[in-house]
Amino acid sequence: MTTVLDVVLCAKAAPAQWGNKALISFTADQVIVHVVSEGSTRLQDIQKAARRLDAQGLKHLSLIGDSWDLEACWAFYQGYYNAKQDNQLGVAVLSEQAQHQFEALKAAADWTRAVINLGPADIYPQSLCDSAIAFLTELAPKHISYRIITGEDLLEQGWVGTYTVGKGSCQAPAMLQLDYNPSGDDDEPVAVALVGKGITFDSGGYSIKPSDGMSVMKSDMGGAATVTGGLGLAIAQGLNKRVKLFLCCAENLVSSKAYKLGDVIHYKNGVSVEVLNTDAEGRLVLADGLIAASEVKPGKIIDAATLTGAAKMALGRDYNAVFGFDKNLVEQALVAAKAEAEMAWALPLEDFHKQQISSSFADIANVSSGEGMAGASTAAAFLAYFVKNADQNWLHFDLSGCYQKSANSLWATGAKGHGIRTIARLLTE
């Protein structure tokens, strides 16, 4: 039988024998978390304490006492989560309403993290679509409808980006088109369209990645998982708006059928794209999703993708990058992230970035060929070519903070679920 240790949250410093500014101390039957800071630093300290307890192999903990609120409990759970260990955390210290919120957060984050952490043998385009459907349908079985377009059907229906990127794999590319419509009225306007990059494994194609970079590319479907997790959380919180979800899913592999440098893709909105780098594949599949989203004329379009290494170079793995021509919408996203104790930062997107991806053989190229160009900004500018009225109703998240390649003081190795709360808030507010 596994011993369950109680965890108490204390606003006083630890006794000196536990070390200078110690975060945790122990009694015979309790763990005491010592947090004397306030605000975001307080939550980070709680999360750090949980990471240390996980590192000590304590698999069963229970939060007790009056000092735990929802955000403190959630910070602790975020740090205590470990993909390899089946850690069990008892949370019985919250009000009924706060407990419901915690369970909704946990369900959405657990699904998001679990599906990103699975290897490509388990999560491939079809299974990713199936898993998203199962997760959302369980939350709202009467309000969900969907269809999955796969293989040659993608080509026939004009979803050429997803088909082209995925045609090199034996796992057929797929696009999930899912409709959450709580009104039940087929004429109900779509309030928000969500678009997610679902590259279930990215070798880089013929622009092949080195092994070290490729080793974590099971996480390249983090955008699809994050928008799905965000929608699931919003549904659990009582979302009463119509939302459409588009997941653009493919494996980017090398084979005799794979797409190649120099290929030109002709999208159904009339834009042609020259492929200069097959490792810039995420924007090619997202283009399909953004066209599909624009066709349903939503109030706003939000996309999310693990799109560029440039965003990680700028922000590390702590912040998600936010882009948009509509600065008010970008500000809404930053405010939403702060309100949900997540970290987001705006990176520049201007009209001139759209001119930095020119091609001699097509309307645009999938990467900039110039020197010193802003990689994350030009990637966002590429996406803008496929959004109708991109200057008014579109928000792009480059998920720098989606995945932790190695553990640190806040996160275990693997997926973090970072971003689902921000997206859920943008849907529900």
Q: What digits encode the pLDDT tens for the residues 81-98?
A: 999 988 999 998 999 999
The pLDDT value recorded for residue 289 is 98
Question: What phi and psi, each to the nearest 5 degrees, are found at residue 75?
Answer: -60, -40
Is 80 exceeded by the pLDDT of residue 308? Answer: yes
The pLDDT value recorded for residue 86 is 86
- Of 27, 259, 75, 245, which Cα lies nearest the Cα of 143? 245
Q: Binning pLDDT at 50, 70 and 90, where does residue 23 land?
A: very high
Is 90 exceeded by the pLDDT of residue 279? Answer: yes
Specify burial of residue 329 (Cβ count, 10 A radius: 0-12, 13-18, 19+): middle
Please spell the DSSP secondary structure of 7-36, one letter per residue: EEEESSPPPGGG-TT-SEEE-SSEEEEE--
Identity at 58, one-letter amino acid code: L
What is the domain partition of the chain in residue ranges? 5-94, 110-428
Question: What phi and psi, each to the nearest 5 degrees, are found at residue 314?
Answer: -75, -40
Q: pTM of this prediction?
A: 0.97
Is 90 exceeded by the pLDDT of residue 1? Answer: no
Specify burial of residue 360 (Cβ count, 10 A radius: 0-12, 13-18, 19+): exposed
Q: What digits encode the pLDDT tens for the residues 35-60?
A: 998 888 999 999 999 999 999 999 99
Beta-carbon count within 10 A of 87 CB: 19
Is 60 exceeded by the pLDDT of residue 261? Answer: yes
Told to judge if 42 belongs to the known catalytic residues of this protein, a careful annotator would answer no
The pLDDT value recorded for residue 2 is 66
Told to judge if 12 belongs to the known catalytic residues of this protein, a careful annotator would answer no
The mean predicted confidence, pLDDT, of the chain is 96
Q: What digits encode the pLDDT tens for the residues 115-135?
A: 999 999 999 999 999 999 999
- Give the mean model confidence (pLDDT) for residues 263-283: 98
pLDDT top residue among 263 and 92: 263
From the candidates 42, 209, 241, 388, give the one annotated as an active-site residue. 209
From the candidates 59, 283, 312, 416, give the one annotated as an active-site residue. 283
H/E stretch holding 37 reads: none
Superfamily of domain 110-428: Zn peptidases (3.40.630.10)
